[in-house]
Structure 1
Amino acid sequence: MRINGLEYHVETAGDGEPLLLLHGFTGNGNTWNDTVSILRDEFRCIVVDIIGHGKTEKPDDPGRYDITKAAADLRAVLLALGIRRASVLGYSMGGRLALTFAVQYPQMVDKLVLESASPGLKTEAERLARRERDEQLAERILTGGMEAFVSHWENLPLFASQKQLPAEVREKIRKQRLENDPAGLANSLRGMGTGAQPSWWGRLSELHFPVLLAAGEWDAKFCRIAGEMEEQLPHAKKIIFSHAGHAIHVEDPKKFGTMIKGFLKNC
């Protein structure tokens, strides 16, 4: 699908009310396969490979990866599919992108689900420090190659709970990460990393649609962030998933999919 000058990989499944699904950094649309299998009987699932990931084009200019431009691409994707309003589900980086989309185009959002996501960093000092760290990581990806980077990434404390997953699931996640392009990932960090994006904390009170904030009990940082967001969003509900870490949809796919379906149907 040609969107704003870029080739986007988009897959759809099911019928019903539209739901846009946005994966995390190093992922692709396939990360949602288990979730889609639960939701597709009642929702039209639109699964996008975010710029720099999967089969979507990976331009050389880091500025093209700006999170507000990526959100504008999503708007164009939905309109190209004849969709003027949809619910949006985003995980981690995809959650930050989902929130950016919601802030920019609130009239296009029915309901919003944010899994292990944040509105960004509150101060410019925090954003600058994070940009510097992300630039170092981007250089590490480009100079060290994907194998070394993925080994580093999957051993971050953030993903420690995934070591409890069955070996075949962990291998599937690793394979998916390795399929990404080094330049695409590096530019994603530079263009839409947490330090590169605007802070949306001051805009949360403007969002008047239902929002579900999902976090895993073993992910203390994002449990705290979800709690702070819940206080500022007019119509938010926080769910803490037991026995799960950062990637709930991977660690407990059945429970995650069932809870999301319930929220989207009944809220």
Structure 2
Amino acid sequence: MKIFIDDVYYAVESEGIGEPLICLHGFTGDGSTWDDLKHQLSRDFRVITIDCLGHGNSDIPNDFHRYSIEKCAHDLNRILEELQLDSVNVLGYSMGGRLALTFAVLFPDKVKRLVLESSSPGLKTKAEQKSRKIADEKLCQILLEEGIEAFVDYWENIALFSSQKKLPAEKRQKIRDQRLNCDPLGLANSLRGMGTGAQPSWWDSLDNLQMPVLLLAGELDEKFCLLNEEMKNRLPNAVFHKISQCGHALHVEHSTKFGKMVEEFLLTT
């Protein structure tokens, strides 16, 4: 279905019954990222997937300011209103995790439980943010000047995704094909509007989040393991699980184990 919010359409899919679980994908992804999880959880939960702006079948605004992570969190709140949902469980991966956390900070009463996969609260200092914006702008130039195939060739070979090279060839090709379907302008505007360098830092807001939080990271993703350890120490009601022999995209590399951990958390907290 398409839901119209503040001059843009969002692509939203829903499957299953029970407590609602909002799933937010990462950069270059879309709602199909969660197909395996929907298969696992839709017996007990209403799994709702949303294509972020610039991704999948959602709109691609020309103005990158429309993609700001705070505006997108307000869009998410409006989507819940359209779906007549007062409160939900929220799961976010990487970029989607930053959006999920932003939503929890801005609308804490709307979040029953929060699951963050390979996510962060953003960068702590203005200097770090400035440096990240410069790096992201270089990615934007690849997207807009060289095209989506050149960008995907680069993106799938960065260190963050090195562990995915161990996946079966068919699964790797499926991920590549999905990325190649992305729109270059949508990805560039997403980086400029809601990239890690563009978003506010939420580190000082973690103390205020009272909902149960599940933090997940792969042991091969050392940077995000360290980030999540620090996040766990700041969040009042959080647990952190490190998944062995896994990198950044846990739900792709160990989908069954990932689904079981999410399901157990949602059913027991």
**Superposed pair shares fold, TM > 0.5:** yes
Which residues of 2 match residues 131-142 of structure 1 at below 5 A?
A: 131-142=133-144
Deviation at 1:199?
0.2
Q: Quote how far apart the aligned CAs of 1:266 are.
A: 0.2
1:230 and 1:259 mapped to 2: Cα distance?
17
Counterpart of 2:224, as a letter, is F
Q: Does 1:105 align with 2:107?
A: yes
Query: What code does the residue aligned with 1:10 have?
Result: V
The equivalent residue for 2:131 is 129
Corresponding residue for residue 41 of structure 1: 43
**Which of 250, 258, 264 is 1:262 aligned to?**
264
What is the CA distance between 1:3 and its match in structure 2? 1.3
Relative to the length of structure 1, the TM-score reads 0.99
One-letter amino acid matched to 1:109:
V
Mapping for residues 175-186 of structure 1, pairs under 5 Å: 175-186=177-188
Q: 2:239 aligns with which of 230, 237, 240?
A: 237
Q: Which amino acid aligns with 1:216?
A: G
Q: Distance in 2 between matches of 1:244 and 1:65?
A: 30
> Where does residue 201 of structure 2 map in the other structure?
199
Q: Which residue identity is paired with 1:104?
A: L
Q: Aligned-pair distance for 1:140?
A: 1.1
Q: Which runs of 5+ in 2 are unaligned?
A: none
Q: In structure 2, what is the equivalent of residue 149 of structure 1?
A: 151
SS in 1 for 2:191: helix
> How far is the alpha carbon of 1:139 from its aligned partner?
1.2
Segments ≥4 residues shifted beyond 2 Å: none
Superposed CA offset, 1:214-264 (max 9, x none): 000100000000000000000000000011100000000000001100000
Which residue of structure 2 lines up, in the alignment, with residue 53 of structure 1?
Answer: 55
Query: For the residues of structure 2 that align with 1:149 and 1:118, how far apart are their CA atoms?
Result: 24
Cα deviation 1:37-64 (Å, max 9, x = unaligned)? 1110000111000001000000000000
1:55 counterpart SS class? coil
Q: CA deviation at 1:97?
A: 0.4
Counterpart residue number, 1:71:
73
Q: 1:84 & 1:256 partners in 2: Cα distance?
A: 27
Distance in 2 (alpha carbons) for counterparts of 1:4 and 1:19:
23
Identity of aligned residues (%): 56
CA distance in 2 between partners of 1:77 and 1:158 (Å): 31
Q: TM-score, normalised by structure 2?
A: 0.99
Q: Deviations over 1:121-152 (max 9, x none)?
A: 00000001101111111111110100010010
Contact 1:95 1:116 in 2 (8 A): yes
Query: Contact 1:142–1:183 at 8 Å: present in 2 too?
Result: yes
Matched AA of 2:237 = H
Q: What residue ranges of structure 1 are gaps of 5+ in the alignment?
A: none
Among residues 80, 83, 90, which one is paired with 1:81 in the alignment? Answer: 83
- What is the identity, as a one-letter code, of the residue corresponding to 2:160? L
Aligned pairs, number: 267
Task: Give the one of 203, 207, 210 matched to 1:208.
Answer: 210
Name the SS of the counterpart of 2:98 in structure 1: helix
**CA shift for structure 1 position 4:** 1.6
Partners of 2:116 and 2:73 lie apart in 1 by 15
Equivalence for 1:15 = 17
- CA shift, 1:5, in A, is 1.3
When the two chains are superposed, the root-mean-square deviation of aligned CA atoms in Å is: 0.5
